Structure 1
Amino acid sequence: MLNRRASSAKSKSEEIIKALSLKPGQQIADVGSGGGYFSFLFARDVGREGKVYAVDTNKGLLDFVRSNSERNGFHNIITVFAEDSRFSLMNEKLDLVFLRNVYHHLPNREIYFSNLVDSLSTGAKIAIIDYDGRGKWSSHRLFCHYVPKATIINEMNVAGYSLVENHTFLPEQSFLVFSATNNENNQNQEEALL
């Protein structure tokens, strides 16, 4: 029930996973993990050597993820309670931070992502999927549960990130991938992606 929307064909979850090019041993934060649908897909692909941090502000959802991971033998999923949308993984370095339909909920997004850079490994990526306001009668648009793609790019630039991938296969959402390395090559690549 909790993962029904994420697992629907419309969500294109396997295409998303393929686009992320996950590797065994990676450490991933699934921010706003909800029922953990993507956390379980990540755990499958990073294997026993990798770790997936299911991060959420809802303790009930984290309990659900924890019990399902134990029941299904996923020992590489760690639940993390994020108070006020902030979280700490102590000294862990992340290879990927994944947010799906969460970006529009975050307050002070530039500060949030600026502070996150110390938790990233060299070459780490931030993948943001969020509703972008397409669709005249969209409930996401009606309730302002979306962020235009240009706004995400601008805010991430302010936070010190550059756009490195722009996937266009989701019908109502933008799927943007950023890198913390803000050099001339990334800026040229970003211009080519737009």
Structure 2
Amino acid sequence: MMGSTATRRMLSSAGVATLLAIVFACGANAEGATRGRGTGVVTVHQDTIGPAAPPGAPASQFPAPRREVADIVAPRWTAEDTRDDAGEFGTVAKIAGIREGQRVADIGAGDGYYVARLAPLVGATGTVYGQDIVPEYLGLLQRRVRDDGLTNVRVVLGEPHDPRLPARGVDVALMIHMYHEIAQPFALLWNLASAMRPGGTLVILDLERPTYAHGTPPSLLRCELAAVGYRERSFTRTGPDEYVAVFVAPDSAQRPAPSDISAALQARRCRA
């Protein structure tokens, strides 16, 4: 997803070496992480793939971001025990206000760290959508869902520009350590709005660092989301260079048209 210059800069960091080690431990690899993009949904007891929602607006209608896009290199950010010890999930769930009965989408779910913890939190009356664009990662997620008996989880395969989630079917969408990997942010955010219920929120956990270094500067994040009509609700620093930002999604009937987004970004670019 990213050019060779940015890739070389990433490979020079110790953090990516750690991520790559996780990939091999999970039976995936960086080459596999960029293969195959498609659409569909797999439920807990199904082996076939079918669409979760009709296609949204095509990527060609939207401008590309004016920043580098980080490679997808692993199905998880870091070791689960480390995240548990830091209280990551509990912190995010509290800020997001996730509760029983809600429909929550984990976009870029990987092998399911959040999905496994969201399922009991939303309960039998809620639904968790574990969504990703890498089929290999969703294979790991599907196996976890089956092994853990998570009957309120749907595993969804989306596209880089379209999450392919059910229309008005999501109360809260999560993007955990992955916003910087979105190659088509304006298209993805626009299509995501179609899946959000009125007043639905998008919760983003990321690091305050350049996108090529697997983070997103807050000013860049705010600019890109505002261009599509998302309104910031809160911004919480959860670590020295970590934050959780919550945005209210625009109503799908009131969001800017793709042509208006392009025109606005020509006048005021979002820069890293």
TM-score range, shorter chain: 0.7 to 0.9
Equivalent residue runs for 1:116-135 within 5 Å: 116-133=192-209
The more displaced of 96-105 and 84-93 is: 84-93
How many Å apart are 1:13 and its aligned residue? 2.1
Conserved 8 A contact 1:57-1:85: no
Which residue of structure 1 lines up, in the alignment, with residue 63 of structure 2? none
Conserved 8 A contact 1:53-1:77: yes
CA RMSD, Structure 1 to Structure 2 (Å)? 2.1
CA separation of 1:61/1:164 partners in 2, compared to 1, >3 Å: closer, same or farther? Answer: same
How many Å apart are 1:126 and its aligned residue? 0.2
Query: Any idea what the Cα deviations from partners look like across 1:161-180, whole Å, max 9, x if unmatched?
Result: 11101111233322100002
Larger radius of gyration: 2
Which amino acid is the alignment partner of residue 156 of structure 1?
L
Which residue of structure 1 lines up, in the alignment, with residue 231 of structure 2? 162
Q: Distance in 1 between matches of 2:175 and 2:122?
A: 17
How many Å apart are 1:157 and its aligned residue? 0.8
How many Å apart are 1:24 and its aligned residue? 1.2
Q: Distance in 1 between matches of 2:170 and 2:79?
A: 26
Which amino acid is the alignment partner of residue 5 of structure 1?
A
Secondary structure, aligned partner of 2:238: coil
Secondary structure, aligned partner of 2:151: coil
Secondary structure, aligned partner of 1:89: coil
Secondary structure, aligned partner of 2:149: coil
How many Å apart are 1:22 and its aligned residue? 1.1
Which residue of structure 1 lines up, in the alignment, with residue 145 of structure 2? 69
Equivalent residue runs for 1:17-56 within 5 Å: 17-56=93-132
How many Å apart are 1:90 and its aligned residue? 3.5
Query: Any idea what the Cα deviations from partners look like across 1:75-125, whole Å, max 9, x if unmatched?
Result: 011111123352212435100110011110112312321222121111110
Secondary structure, aligned partner of 2:213: coil
CA separation of 1:123/1:92 partners in 2, compared to 1, >3 Å: closer, same or farther? Answer: closer
Conserved 8 A contact 2:162-2:187: no
Which residue of structure 1 lines up, in the alignment, with residue 246 of structure 2? 177
Q: Sequence identity of aligned pairs in percent?
A: 22
Gaps of 5+ in 2: 1-24, 27-75, 252-272
Conserved 8 A contact 1:166-1:177: yes
TM-score w.r.t. length of structure 2: 0.59
Which residue of structure 2 lines up, in the alignment, with residue 187 of structure 1? none
* Displacement over 4 Å in runs of 4+: 1-4
Which residue of structure 2 lines up, in the alignment, with residue 152 of structure 1? 221
Number of matched pairs: 175
Q: Which has the higher contact order (CA 8 A, sep 6+)?
A: 2
Which residue of structure 2 lines up, in the alignment, with residue 94 of structure 1? 170
Conserved 8 A contact 2:160-2:184: no
Conserved 8 A contact 1:7-1:13: no
Q: Distance in 1 between matches of 2:174 and 2:211?
A: 25
Residue 109 (structure 1) aligned with residue 178 (structure 2): no
Conserved 8 A contact 1:5-1:11: no
CA separation of 1:7/1:151 partners in 2, compared to 1, >3 Å: closer, same or farther? Answer: farther
How many Å apart are 1:181 and its aligned residue? 4.9
